Structure 1
């Protein structure tokens, strides 16, 4: 009976550690929160974006990417999983597409430029359109 209780307690501790680790991964970084505070979510999503219209993809942390379009539209992509190293200086994002669109479920690979090696990867989710908030006037 004692062995059974130890096994149950050990399983509960392991499960608790897994849940805590996952919750930590899903938590938005302070940098991402500050960057996203400049925008409001419109609730409108796109499954795909035309690559000819994408100006840049800027990871603000390993879970949140801002996609800036040529027409000044901005989209948020909360990637599935953690895209290790995506926001680190000196790394680049790489992806392969079959059409002229970047779509949900495409895999993004993070490459260390100095070593030319893969350091992480993740899957894209839908692109949520953001609207830039007007800047608040500085207090005098």
Structure 2
């Protein structure tokens, strides 16, 4: 028997992540990002603690052991960076590069799905805060 599970992930907007001029600053501006090892095609869903949507093409999956796996989607996913919320369905306990996410949008108190986007490979990364520069 195959089980299909739907997972909904919604991230709160990070304070200060939107510039006054209307352009969005990258959440990665204050970090040094380094890759660890080879990219993987799948990660275990039960090990995901939280997610952080970086932009329309990048999602960080934070694992319960503290590891971070970055997924660079092969194509931009319209609205993902703005909404910072998505859902996915899998039939196994693994989230893989062949799976599809759907951007979630809240309109008039209702949650609606927007476009569907494919995932890419999962690359383990480390994030280190950049030293503050004096100006």
TM-score, normalised by the number of residues in structure 1:
0.67
Gaps of 5+ in 1: 1-28
Change (3 A) 1:110 1:56: same
Pick the aligned partner of 1:56 from 50, 59, 63: 50
Pick the aligned partner of 2:94 from 92, 95, 101: 101
Partner of 1:118: 113
Pairwise CA distance, 1:102: 0.4
In the alignment, the residues of structure 1 paired with residue 130 and residue 28 of structure 2 have an alpha-carbon distance, to the nearest angstrom, of 16
Equivalent runs, 1:119-134 vs 2, <5 Å: 119-133=114-128
Give the strand-richer structure, 1 or 2.
Answer: 2
Change (3 A) 1:134 1:88: closer
Contact 1:109 1:118 in 2 (8 A): yes
Pairwise CA distance, 1:68: 0.6
Task: Tell which has more relative contact order, 1 or 2 (C-alpha 8 A, sep 6+).
Answer: 2
Gaps of 5+ in 2: 1-23
Pairwise CA distance, 1:133: 2.6
Aligned CA-pair RMSD: 2.3
Residues matched between the structures, number: 109
TM-score, normalised by the number of residues in structure 2:
0.69
Give the helix-richer structure, 1 or 2.
Answer: 1
Larger Rg: 1
